[in-house]
C-alpha cells in the first residue's frame, strides 16, 4: 500500500523542493555564494530526479507492451512489491517477474506471440520527490488495449499509486500498486459491466477512489524572477513541473466527482468554460458547474474519466503567469450508455504568493460519440448553456464539435519558425557555476524536445502540413509505416500533403496523440533521441479506425533551436472502430502507388498487428543498463542491434 502523506509532511516533502531551495530562488545574488550554489544544484538535481522517475515508469509500460517481462521486473528494487487489484502482493523481483509472465499469457518472452495485443500506456504523472532526495511517490493513469486476434479485445483503465527509491544514484520502483477501474470487452464496452460488490477495490460500475499519496497540490515557487540567471531558469523549469502536477491532479479529482477538491485548485477569481456551456466565475460557481455532471463522489454506473495528456506549458518570464495546451481522451458512462470523447484544453495559470493556481480552464470538445456506434455513425452534439445553473458569461467562442471542424487557437508560436534562441551568459570564472549552467541547459533541452514532438501531434491533428514540415531540419528524414523514407523538408511536406487536404476537415477525425515520451539529450547538447507512443483516432465515414504507432526519433539543435532530424514511426496496429482489434486489423502500409514515391526504401520490413515488431530502443534499461534487442519475426526473429535506421 503506498504511503499516504500527512498534510504537514506534504508541505515539505511532497513538493519536491525544500524551503531552503525556495529561499535560494528569492535571495540568490547575481554571483552565487557556495551556499546558494549548493541550493541551486539541489534544485537541478530534483528536476533531474523527476525526469528519471518518469522515464522509469514509462519504460515499465513499454516493456509490458513488448513482452519484455524480465526487463520490466529489473526496474524494481530487490525488496520491491507489486500489487495488481485483487491478485495479492508479489514480493521481490523473482515473484514480480513470474507474475508479469502469467499476466502476459505465460510465454517467458521476450516478445509476444502472433495475434496477441498488449498496450499499457503510462499517463498523467503526479510526481513528488521526498525531502531526503532518495524516495519518491507518483500517481499515474493507465489506458490499456489488450486482446488476441480473432479471439478477444478489451479496454482497460486504472490508477497507479507507486513509490520509488534511489539506490546508488539509480531510481527503482519500490512499490507498484495498481487499482483497476475496469477491464471491459470491446463489444459493449465499460457501460455494460456488472458490479462486483464483494471486491476489496470495487471496479466500475461501482465507485472507488484509489488513495492519494498527497492530500492537496500546492507548490513552492518564486513569486517573481530574482535577477540571478541560474535561479530564474530553474524557477521556470520547476514551475512547469508544478503546473503539470496541478492539471493532472485536477483530472484525477474530476474523474471521481471530487468537485470540492477540483474547484479548490482555481484562483479565487478563476474561470471555467466547457464547450458551449458558457463561462463560470469564482470557486463556488465553478464547483457548482462541475457538479452539474453528477453528485459529489459520483454514483454507481457513472464514469467520468478525463485524461490530462500531451501538455505544452509556457511560463511567463516573470514566473507569475503561465499558459498550457492539453488534450484529453474522455471515457463516459451514464444510464447504461457509454461514450468516447476527445478534446483540447487551452488554460491559464497564476502564481499566487508562491503557489500555482488555475486561472482559467477552457475545454474545446473535438468529438464525442456513442460507444456502440463510433464517431462515423454516432456523434453527440455539444449542449448549450445550462438552464439549471446559468453561466456568468456567454461562451467566448462560437463553434460546433464533430462532424464540424474547429481549430482551438494556440497560445504558443511555432517551436521552430518563431523560436528565439536563448542568449547564453558569458562563461564564469567559477567552474562550478559553468557546470550548473550546463546541467540547467540539458534540462531545458529535454523540455524543448518534448515540446517539439507534442507540437507535431497537435499540428497533425488539424492537418497543418506546412507547420508540421517546418518542425524538421532541412536535411531531415521521415519514415512512417512501410511507405519508405522521404528525405529533405520539401519531400517531407509533399508526403504529408499526400495524406489529405490542408486544414481541419468536416467529418474527419485525425488525432495523433504523442504520449509516454522518453527523451534523452546527448551530453554535448547538440542532439537527442526520443521514443513515443501515438494513440490514434483517424478516419472519415464510413472508415473510422483506432491506431497505435511507436516513434523512435532523432533531433538536432541548430542555432539554438531544436528540430526533428529523423522521424521513424512503425505502425503497431490499425483496426476499424466498428469491429475492434480482436476481429479485424489493417495491414501495414506499402510504398506501392504512393504519390510522391519515397526517396529510399524502408529501412526495415515488418508486419504490423496481428504480427509483432519491436523497434530498436535508443536507450538502455534505466536500471540495469542492458540494451534490449529489436524483435522482428518478419525478418527471422531478433534483429541486429547494430542495424541503422533513418537518421540514426
| Whether residue 454 is found in the same domain as residue 319 | no
Pairing of strands 527-540, 337-352: unpaired
| Whether residue 372 is found in the same domain as residue 309 | yes
| Whether residue 365 is found in the same domain as residue 441 | no
The runs of H, that is alpha helices, within 180-302 are 229-255, 259-263, 283-290
Q: Does residue 517 lie in a domain region?
A: yes
Q: How far apart are CA 531 and CA 62, in angstroms?
A: 10
Q: Does residue 416 lie in a domain region?
A: no
pTM as predicted: 0.93
Neighbouring-strand partners of residue 339: 332, 370
CATH at residue 153: 3.10.450.50
Per residue in 403-440, pLDDT tens? 999 999 999 999 999 998 878 788 888 999 999 999 99
Domains in the chain: how many in total? Answer: 2
Domain boundary among 352, 377, 402: 377
Choice between 191 and 226, residue whose per-residue pLDDT is larger: 191
| Whether residue 452 is found in the same domain as residue 539 | yes
| Whether residue 460 is found in the same domain as residue 311 | no
Residue 634's nearest CA partner among 507, 502, 482, 486 is 482
Q: Does residue 103 lie in a domain region?
A: yes
pLDDT at position 227 = 75
55, 458, 446, 565: CA torsion to nearest 10: 110
| Whether residue 335 is found in the same domain as residue 473 | no
Half-sphere CA count of 113, side-chain side, radius 13 A: 9
| Whether residue 260 is found in the same domain as residue 373 | yes
Mean pLDDT of 502-513: 94
User: Does 361 score more than 70 pLDDT?
Assistant: yes
Neighbouring-strand partners of residue 576: 545
Q: Does residue 583 lie in a domain region?
A: yes
Q: Does residue 403 lie in a domain region?
A: no
pLDDT at position 12 = 33
What is the chain's mean pLDDT, rounded? 90
| Whether residue 466 is found in the same domain as residue 328 | no
The runs of H, that is alpha helices, within 18-33 are 19-27
Q: Does residue 382 lie in a domain region?
A: no
When mean pLDDT is compared across 207-216, 237-246, 435-444, 638-647, the lowest value belongs to 638-647
**Following DSSP, what letter does each residue of 444-511 receive, concatenated?**
HHHHHHHHHHHHHHHHHHTT-HHHHHTTEEEEEEEEETTS-BEESHHHHHHHHHTTS-SS--TTEEEE
Q: Residue 286's domain spans which residues?
A: 7-377
pLDDT at position 428 = 87
Domain boundary among 357, 377, 397: 377
| Whether residue 564 is found in the same domain as residue 630 | yes
Domain boundary among 377, 401, 422: 377
**Following DSSP, what letter does each residue of 336-404 receive, concatenated?**
TEEEEEEEEEEEEEEEETTEEEEEEEEEEEEEEEETTTHHHH-B-PPP---SSS--SB--SS----TTS
pLDDT at position 107 = 83
**How many Å separate Cα 156 from the centre of its chain?**
17
| Whether residue 447 is found in the same domain as residue 373 | no
| Whether residue 463 is found in the same domain as residue 321 | no
* Cell matching residue 556: 538536432
Per residue in 476-493, pLDDT tens? 999 999 999 999 999 999
Neighbouring CB atoms inside 10 A of 515's CB total 22
pLDDT at position 229 = 86
User: Does 218 score more than 80 pLDDT?
Assistant: no
| Whether residue 345 is found in the same domain as residue 470 | no
Q: How far apart are CA 565 and CA 528, in angstroms?
A: 9
- The model's confidence at residue 24, banded by pLDDT at 50, 70 and 90, is very low
Amino acid at each position: 500500500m503506498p504511503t499516504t502523506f500527512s498534510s504537514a509532511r506534504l508541505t515539505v516533502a511532497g513538493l519536491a523542493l525544500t524551503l531552503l531551495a525556495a529561499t535560494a530562488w528569492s535571495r540568490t545574488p547575481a554571483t552565487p555564494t557556495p551556499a546558494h550554489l549548493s541550493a541551486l544544484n539541489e534544485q537541478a538535481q530534483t528536476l533531474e530526479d523527476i525526469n528519471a522517475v518518469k522515464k522509469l515508469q514509462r519504460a515499465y509500460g513499454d516493456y509490458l507492451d513488448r513482452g519484455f517481462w524480465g526487463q520490466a521486473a529489473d526496474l524494481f528494487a530487490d525488496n520491491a512489491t507489486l500489487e495488481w487489484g485483487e491478485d495479492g502482493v508479489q514480493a521481490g523481483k523473482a515473484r514480480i517477474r513470474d507474475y508479469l509472465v502469467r499476466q502476459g499469457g505465460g510465454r517467458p518472452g521476450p516478445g509476444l506471440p502472433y495475434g496477441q495485443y498488449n498496450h499499457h500506456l503510462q499517463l498523467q504523472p503526479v510526481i513528488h520527490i521526498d525531502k531526503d532526495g532518495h524516495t519518491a511517490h507518483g500517481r499515474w493513469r493507465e489506458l490499456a488495449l489488450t486482446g488476441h486476434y480473432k479471439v478477444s479485445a478489451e479496454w482497460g483503465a486504472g490508477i497507479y499509486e507507486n513509490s520509488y527509491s534511489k539506490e546508488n544514484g539509480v531510481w527503482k520502483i519500490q512499490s507498484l500498486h495498481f487499482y483497476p477501474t475496469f477491464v471491459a470487452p470491446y463489444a459493449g464496452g465499460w457501460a455494460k459491466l456488472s458490479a462486483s460488490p464483494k471486491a476489496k477495490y470495487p471496479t466500475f460500475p461501482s465507485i472507488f477512489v484509489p488513495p492519494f499519496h498527497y492530500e492537496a497540490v500546492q507548490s513552492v515557487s518564486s513569486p517573481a524572477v530574482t535577477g540571478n540567471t541560474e535561479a530564474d531558469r530553474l524557477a521556470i523549469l520547476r514551475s512547469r513541473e508544478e503546473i503539470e502536477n496541478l492539471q493532472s491532479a485536477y483530472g484525477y479529482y474530476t474523474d471521481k466527482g471530487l468537485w470540492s477538491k477540483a474547484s479548490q485548485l482555481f484562483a479565487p477569481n478563476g474561470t471555467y468554460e466547457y464547450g458551449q456551456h458558457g463561462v463560470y466565475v469564482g470557486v463556488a460557481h465553478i464547483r457548482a458547474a462541475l457538479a452539474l455532471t453528477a453528485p459529489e463522489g459520483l454514483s454507481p454506473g457513472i464514469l467520468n474519466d478525463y485524461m490530462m495528456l500531451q501538455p505544452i506549458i509556457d511560463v511567463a518570464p516573470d514566473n507569475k503567469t503561465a499558459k498550457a495546451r492539453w488534450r484529453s481522451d474522455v471515457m463516459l458512462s451514464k444510464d447504461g450508455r457509454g461514450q468516447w470523447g476527445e478534446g483540447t484544453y487551452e488554460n491559464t495559470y497564476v502564481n499566487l504568493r508562491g503557489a500555482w493556481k488555475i486561472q482559467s480552464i477552457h475545454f474545446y470538445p473535438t468529438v464525442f460519440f456513442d460507444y456502440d456506434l463510433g464517431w462515423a455513425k454516432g456523434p453527440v452534439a455539444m449542449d448549450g448553456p445550462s438552464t439549471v445553473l446559468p453561466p456568468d458569461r456567454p461562451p467566448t467562442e462560437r463553434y460546433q464539435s464533430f462532424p464540424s471542424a474547429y481549430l482551438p487557437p494556440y497560445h504558443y508560436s511555432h517551436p521552430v519558425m518563431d523560436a528565439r534562441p536563448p542568449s547564453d551568459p558569458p562563461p564564469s570564472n567559477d567552474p562550478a557555476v559553468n557546470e550548473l549552467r550546463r546541467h540547467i541547459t540539458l534540462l531545458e533541452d529535454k523540455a524543448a524536445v518534448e515540446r517539439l514532438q507534442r507540437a507535431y501531434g497537435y499540428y497533425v491533428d488539424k492537418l497543418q502540413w506546412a507547420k508540421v514540415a517546418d518542425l524538421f531540419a532541412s536535411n531531415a528524414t521521415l519514415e512512417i509505416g512501410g511507405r519508405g523514407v522521404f528525405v529533405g523538408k520539401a519531400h517531407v511536406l509533399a508526403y504529408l500533403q499526400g495524406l489529405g487536404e490542408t486544414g481541419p476537415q468536416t467529418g474527419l477525425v485525425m488525432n495523433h496523440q504523442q504520449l509516454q515520451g522518453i527523451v534523452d539529450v546527448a551530453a554535448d547538447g547538440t542532439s537527442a533521441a526520443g521514443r513515443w507512443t501515438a494513440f490514434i483516432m483517424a478516419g472519415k465515414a464510413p472508415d473510422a479506425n483506432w491506431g497505435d504507432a511507436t516513434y523512435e526519433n532523432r533531433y538536432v539543435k541548430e542555432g539554438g533551436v531544436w528540430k526533428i532530424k529523423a522521424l521513424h514511426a512503425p505502425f503497431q496496429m490499425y483496426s476499424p472502430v466498428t469491429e475492434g482489434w480482436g476481429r479485424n486489423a489493417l495491414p501495414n502500409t506499402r510504398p506501392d502507388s504512393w504519390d510522391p514515391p519515397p526517396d529510399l526504401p524502408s529501412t526495415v520490413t515488418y508486419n504490423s498487428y496481428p504480427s509483432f515488431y519491436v523497434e530498436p530502443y535508443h536507450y538502455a534499461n534505466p536500471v540495469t543498463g542492458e540494451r534490449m534487442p529489436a524483435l522482428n519475426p518478419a525478418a527471422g526473429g531478433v534483429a541486429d542491434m547494430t542495424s541503422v535506421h533513418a537518421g540514426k
